[in-house]
Chains A and B, each alone.
Chain A
Amino acid sequence: MTIPEQRLVMGEDGLAFAGHKLSRASLDACVKCTICETACPVSAVTPLFTGPKFVGPQAERFRNGESVDHSLDYCSSCGTCTLVCPQGVQIAELNSQARAVMKADHMPLRDRLIGQTVLMGTVMTPVAPIARAALNNKPIRKVMEAVIGVHADAPMPPAQSQTFEGWFRKRPKPAGPFPRGTLVFFHGCAGGYFEVETSKKSVEVLEHLGYQVLVPKQGCCGLAQQSNGLFDGATKDVLKLCDDLRSAGTDLTIISSSGSCTGMLKHEAHEIMGVDDERLRDVGTRIRDIMEFLLELHDAGELPTDFAPIEMTVPYHAPCQLKSQGIGKPAIEVLRLIPGLTVVDSNATCCGIAGTYGLKKEKYEIAQAVGKPLFDMVKATNPELALCDTETCRWQIEQSSGVKTEHPIYLIHQAYGLS
């Protein structure tokens, strides 16, 4: 597997890109209230990181090219600071941009490698059993840690023997009718290669509700590259993806059960990398997280609530990348419609993984400390099952708590009698 050389979009001085100008404009709104400092999950567990205000609006003022505060690399980009700032300062975005500049000419191979999610998925799928064995193999993981810096105990994607696309193409076509019209389904690379069941169940729920579901051929959103500072590759990927999704129709609602990729399309590509493109705007306004979509249906009085009871108490964790979409926690509202089901909100800030952050050997311990309250809560609430909307977070929760963790759609699927 060869990794293409990546270059950054920003110009010579590292400041000349649109996203940076955008976020930087929010800098002067900082009133130094310290609200963001109190909410950062990383600075809460390690003195190595000075926190959002210091590396963000404060250090940014002294920045001419590279950031003056290198502890910035410890920011996980979870986005919590931006969410709580009452003055609209885009702290997390500023930090992501500054980090991209800081690491521009010495990006570790590891950061480039784990940004290549499609590549990993494509390569791993046909050889899934071997990949699974390799990733579960301690000595091999030790070598990975030493060579590319992925911590030996970090969670790894579960390789599958069939891709979602494979399933979708080969299954018997639903006959219809489709009284509710047509939707486009966006599975994301994780949903296509690793979290195949989640994608399948999502499509089956939508079809059960009476929608025809289209799945155009689609690539990666580029999020993993973006969060590792590889803006050039990420921008290409996200625009290519917009084209892919638009090929199915330009006025259809797009549904995704991959919470993090949805956030990339809705706002991150624009706010962090400054991608300013009609295609992105179009897709970004038409896309809905699947639980958000179900809640919208419910609010409009259009969601059938003939759910079979599920007698269970289940912990639910809202991932940061869902929270930063500004939609609240729709999964909780929808799950509460299932009779017998008690959903307990973890109310934890972050599970620690933050995309690929918690995989890295120098961040692993921090990520585990960030997630510890969540892992404890999950174990105490239900040792059998936890729910969470994004895949990397599910892997992290499952790996660190030992509790099976699924997308909320699993229980919706079950309560509609589909499994």
Chain B
Amino acid sequence: MSRAVVIGAGLAGLVAANRLVDAGLDVTLLHKGLGGLQLGQGSIDVFGYAPERVLNPIKAVSQVATSHPYAAAGSAAVLDGLAYLKQELPTLLVGDPEANYQLPTAVGSIRPTCLAQPSMIAGHVRDGAHLVIVGIRQLKDFHPQLVAENLARTVLPDGGRLTARHVWVDLPARDGEVDSFGVGYARAFDTEAFRIAFATALSPQLKDDEVVGLPAVLGLADVKAWRDLAGKLGHQVFEIPLPPPSVPGMRLNEALTARARSAGVRIVPGVRTTTFSTVAGRVASVTTAAGRTYSGDAFVLATGGFESGALELDSHQVVRETLFGLPLTGVGDGPLVHGDYWGAEQPLFRVGVSVDAAMRPIDPWGAPAYPNLWAAGGILAGASGWKELSGDGIAVASAVAAAAAITKELS
């Protein structure tokens, strides 16, 4: 059986590992820590701003410049990846590649996203809607008044308006705890008893026809907890993602990891890959800081970007890809960071590796750096994932495209 080694367990690495194991390969997934999923919103952004607010994300994908990672992966891989996620995680992701949801954020702005969790979509903003945003006194990081007032003064993407007010519930996640984080509440919402207590405290404060916005802590292990709460309240509810730790992100992370595990992916957590070896110009193995070596026929670099240590900038403004020392695109045309932090985009954010049509990192002359090394996700050059709200979609599409190329190559 052919052996594939995936490095990195963010969205890109998890999707790549799942696709490769589905294709019948023997897959090892190495990571030095969890990826970015539980720091995000728990939805899948495909294209949010280009640079104006995007209503049809797949259309925006088809219009990118040739230097953008979507151009290498192709629209078909985006559609394939989104369909795959919806099929594999039906209780966690829903949505239409041709229409973004427009969902309230924890500061009361309106965020475009492509696939969202079923627990979020009742928040999709509509003209004439009546929202009530619920805060919990003992939960830091969620300010219902801020959310409600900002939403109420915003003209919606389709030109309409909504009304929003806020209310409070006073209910500790655990006895005596006055300052909890979201995960503590999510674990409490996993229990029927807490949902009953919460509904009892909230129900009298609700008015007919109001849609109830809650911090995104409605259950962690139990993905139907939110539905049960909605039933108890007799109102539609929606979750609003919080700053990290993101409970919806944890749900996605755990579901994709559990799927990989049960499909037979060998997962090795807590290991930093530091060096590699080559034989006849091909990558033969990678070695971890603890000294263990993993050999394979194909390698997928899914190590993310600066935030995960995959790219490094030194004090001489030199950027390095930290594992393979791959050639980088987006460097060498002047300063990478300018001082106008609220102004134009920093050139640094577009730095990364460029890939060929098969998602293999290439040298400056367009040839693959190594014939059996592929790349996916945040490591790719040419996009500002956080600004375009395209990082998730790039991770999924590039992972799907890389896995397809590997499967083709090795069979």
A166 / chain B contacts, CB cutoff of 8 Å: none
* B33 near A328: Cβ-Cβ < 8 Å: no
Proximity string of chain A (37-50) to chain B, C-beta cutoff 8 Å, 1 when within and 0 when not = 11100001001000
B176 / chain A contacts, CB cutoff of 8 Å: 47
Distance A345 CA – B245 CA, assembled complex (angstroms)? 26
Distance A347 CA – B292 CA, assembled complex (angstroms)? 23
B108 / chain A contacts, CB cutoff of 8 Å: none
A interface: dominant SS: loop
- Which residues of chain B (216-272) have a CB below 8 Å from chain A? 244-245, 250, 258, 261, 266-272
* B244 near A47: Cβ-Cβ < 8 Å: no
Interface locus among A81-89, A174-182, A383-391 = A81-89
- Which residues of chain A (16-58) have a CB below 8 Å from chain B? 31, 33-35, 37-39, 44, 47
* B245 near A326: Cβ-Cβ < 8 Å: no
B interface: dominant SS: loop
Q: Does A285 contact B (CB under 8 A)?
A: yes
* A347 near B309: Cβ-Cβ < 8 Å: no
Tell me how far the C-beta of B283 lies from the nearest C-beta in chain A, rounded to whole angstroms.
17
A31 / chain B contacts, CB cutoff of 8 Å: 307
A39 / chain B contacts, CB cutoff of 8 Å: 34
Selected contact of A37 from candidates B32, B177, B183, B266, CB within 8 Å: B183
Tell me how far the C-beta of A408 lies from the nearest C-beta in chain B, rounded to whole angstroms.
16
A34 / chain B contacts, CB cutoff of 8 Å: 181, 244-245
User: Given A86-B34, A345-B261, is A328 in contact with B245 using a C-beta cutoff of 8 Å?
Assistant: no
* B244 near A83: Cβ-Cβ < 8 Å: no
Q: Does A361 contact B (CB under 8 A)?
A: no
Q: Does B338 contact A (CB under 8 A)?
A: no
A79 to B, closest residue via Cβ: B270
Tell me how far the C-beta of B18 lies from the nearest C-beta in chain A, rounded to whole angstroms.
17
User: Given A35-B38, A87-B309, A347-B258, is A328 in contact with B244 using a C-beta cutoff of 8 Å?
Assistant: no
Q: Does A71 contact B (CB under 8 A)?
A: no
Proximity string of chain B (32-45) to chain A, C-beta cutoff 8 Å, 1 when within and 0 when not = 11110011000000
* A324 near B181: Cβ-Cβ < 8 Å: no
- Which residues of chain A (137-190) have a CB below 8 Å from chain B? none
A85 / chain B contacts, CB cutoff of 8 Å: 33
* B181 near A37: Cβ-Cβ < 8 Å: yes
* B269 near A84: Cβ-Cβ < 8 Å: yes
User: Given A33-B244, A47-B174, is A285 in contact with B291 using a C-beta cutoff of 8 Å?
Assistant: yes
User: Given A86-B32, A266-B290, A325-B290, is A44 in contact with B268 using a C-beta cutoff of 8 Å?
Assistant: no
Distance A82 CA – B32 CA, assembled complex (angstroms)? 10
Q: Does B346 contact A (CB under 8 A)?
A: no
Residue picked from B175, B176, B183, B307, most chain A C-beta under 10 Å: B183
Tell me how far the C-beta of A102 lies from the nearest C-beta in chain B, rounded to whole angstroms.
23
Selected contact of A267 from candidates B250, B269, B290, CB within 8 Å: B290
Q: Does A243 contact B (CB under 8 A)?
A: no
Q: Does B161 contact A (CB under 8 A)?
A: no
Tell me how far the C-beta of A10 lies from the nearest C-beta in chain B, rounded to whole angstroms.
26
Selected contact of A87 from candidates B33, B38, B267, B268, CB within 8 Å: B33
Q: Does A333 contact B (CB under 8 A)?
A: yes
Distance A86 CA – B268 CA, assembled complex (angstroms)? 14
4 other A-B residue contacts (CB within 8 Å) besides A33-B244, A35-B245, A38-B250: A34-B181, A86-B309, A267-B290, A328-B268
Give A contacts to B, CB under 8 Å.
31, 33-35, 37-39, 44, 47, 82-88, 266-267, 285, 323-329, 333, 345, 347
Leading 10 A-B pairs by shortest Cβ distance: A86-B33, A328-B268, A83-B270, A326-B271, A34-B245, A326-B290, A47-B177, A38-B245, A47-B174, A38-B183
Enumerate 6 A-B pairs (CB-CB under 8 Å) in ascending A order: A37-B245, A47-B174, A84-B34, A86-B33, A86-B309, A326-B270
